[in-house]
Each structure stands twice: as structure tokens, then as C-alpha cells.
Amino acid sequence: MRIGELSRLAGISTRMLRHYDAIGLVSPRQRTANGYRDYTPADVRRLFQVESLRTLGLSLQAIRDSLADADVPPTALVDELIAATGERIAREQALLGRLRSVRESGVTSWRDVLGLVALMQELDSPDPSRRQRAALAEGPPAPLLDALFGERDPNVAGALRWAVVRAGDEVLPQLVAALDGPDEQARHQAVAALVRIPGAESALRRALRHGDPYVRERAALALGDRDAVPELVAMVVRGADDVSAAEALGRLARSDDPAGDWADDLAGRLVARLDDDVRARGRITQALAEIPGPAAHRALTALVADPDPAVAATARSLLARRAV
């Protein structure tokens, strides 16, 4: 079969068929007496194999390698296609996000559009210093939020949080949405921004019941009030930023309390968790030192007789420096 006939039957240009021949992908096994390409049935079958793999998204190099090595399992090709498709989808999603950011920013002129695109390009730079400079420049919050949710460099993330917090209530809906989303990185960046926004108190109170411990912890430390007490106590017990949690409990215990028994109530909540494990007892002992009042004093006195020597020594040391 001559090249022109094959081109018509297969719907592939003669130029592409010649290219396949030049790179050794589909080369006719025969030539006519005049030197024209003469494709055999086996060549035609190989051509359709090539075109089938191309429709799946494989590169010509990948197709040639797979057809040249009969030992390559189909699963290897499928894995390669999955990886390539995932990368393509990620690029498309990034583009979609940029387009939405442009639309949501409310730009009204091409000058503004070009400036916003330039900002997003800087925020996507592989150079952290360029991303940080872009974050500190004046710009709409939408692209800054997108960049914050994916940023892992602590210095750049700090600059982005500052820029986002500067927008105040304007960004609260997006931060709350990220807080409730599936992306852990976005959740953690969102709560780190929310704790710095004065108008985010209601969102932080809801966050006290969040399934992500880090989100609960940040919200509890930011609020530092009675609603946060269960999480603050839990933080002491499990050793999650327990020093900050103990200090927050201490500040709360020393705050104005018309009923007069708030400090004792906090001490009782800590004492109720002493049976968790020895490491937790050590942290609870340290936390009780932050709580004024007779209940905390009695608990420390009892801990002097704790079977763990380290806990007992800590309690004695704290009692020596403590006034009831």
C-alpha cells in the first residue's frame, strides 16, 4: 500500500507518515521498484497501534520505547499515562484558579489585568525571595489567598498571611471555606491567618470542634476563654504546645471571676486527667503551677507523693516557689 492510499484510509497526513518513518516509529518494510514506500499489513497494524496509544496521551518517544520492548507491561504505560494526566489536570486547575482570581478581583481595564497576571506569575516563582516581595506588594486578596494556601516556605507564608490579614473581613469567607476543606496545608494556613483577624471570633469558635487537631489548637490558643478550656486541657495532656496551653489556662484562672471558683474549676479539670499516663502527669503538674488557688495547691501537694520520681520532684520544686 502506497503512502497516499494509507493516508486516505487512516486519516493521517502523508507528512506525519513520513515523520513516523524518519524517526523509525512506523517504517514501511518494503519499497517498490521505483523506491516508493510500500506499507505491508504488518506496517498498517503497527500504525494503528501507534495512533491508539497517541489517543491515550503518550508521547511519540514513549510509544516507540513501549513498542520496541515487548517486555514492557501495559500497567507501566497506564501508570505513565496516569502521572501525565494528573500533571496536565494540575496545570489546567492552576490556570482555572488564575482566571477565577482575575474575574473575582474586579479589574476593569487591561492594565489592571496585566498587573494582576504579573503578580500571580511572581507568586508562582520558584524563587522564595521573589514570592515574598510579591506578597508584600499591594495587590488584590484573591491571588494572595491562593498562594498562601499552597505556600510551604515559612518566610513567604508569613508575608502572605500579613497581606491576607490586612484585607480583614473581606477574606473571611474564603478562609472559612479553606478551613472546612480537604486540603490540610490550606486548613493550617487558613487558621494561622484567622487567629490574626479581629472579626474571626465566630469562625474560631466553630473551629474548636474541628476534626483537625491543629485547627482546634490554634483556635483554642487564640480565644483563650472558657469555650477553649476543654481543648486547652487536652493540649496539655497530649503534649501539643502544652506550655502555651498551660499559660493560657493560667491567664484565664487569674482573670476576673465573680463566682470566685473559676481557678479551682480549672485545677479540677487538670486533676481529672492525671491518670492518663506518666508523661501526661508531668505536663499536668507543670500546668497546675500556672493555676492559683487552693485546689491547685492541694493537687501539687498530693503529687509530691507520685510514684514517678520526676513528677514528684517537679511538684516539690513548684510548691517551694508557690504561694497558695
Name the band, by pLDDT with cuts 50, 70 and 90, for residue 70. Answer: low
In percent, the amount of the chain with pLDDT more than 90 equals: 38
| CATH code, 3-69 | 1.10.1660.10
The predicted structure's pLDDT at residue 230? 95
In the chain, the amino acid numbered 74 is P
pLDDT at 260 over 60: no
Say what the pTM is.
0.64
In percent, the amount of the chain with pLDDT more than 70 equals: 88
- 215 and 241 Cβ atoms separated by less than 8 Å: no
The predicted structure's pLDDT at residue 296? 92
List pLDDT tens digits, range 174-215.
899 999 899 999 999 999 999 999 889 999 999 999 999 999
Span 243-268, average pLDDT: 83
Alpha helices in the chain (DSSP H): 3-10, 14-22, 41-55, 60-68, 74-104, 110-123, 128-136, 141-150, 154-166, 172-179, 184-194, 201-207, 213-223, 229-238, 242-253, 262-271, 278-288, 294-303, 309-320
The distance in angstroms from the start CA to the end CA of the chain is 102
Local structure of 99: helix, strand or coil = helix
Least confident span in 251-265, 285-299, 310-324: 251-265
pLDDT at 228 over 90: yes
Where along the chain do its domains lie? 3-69, 77-199, 224-324
- For 141, counting Cβ atoms within 10 Å of its Cβ (0-12 exposed, 13-18 middle, 19+ buried), the class is buried
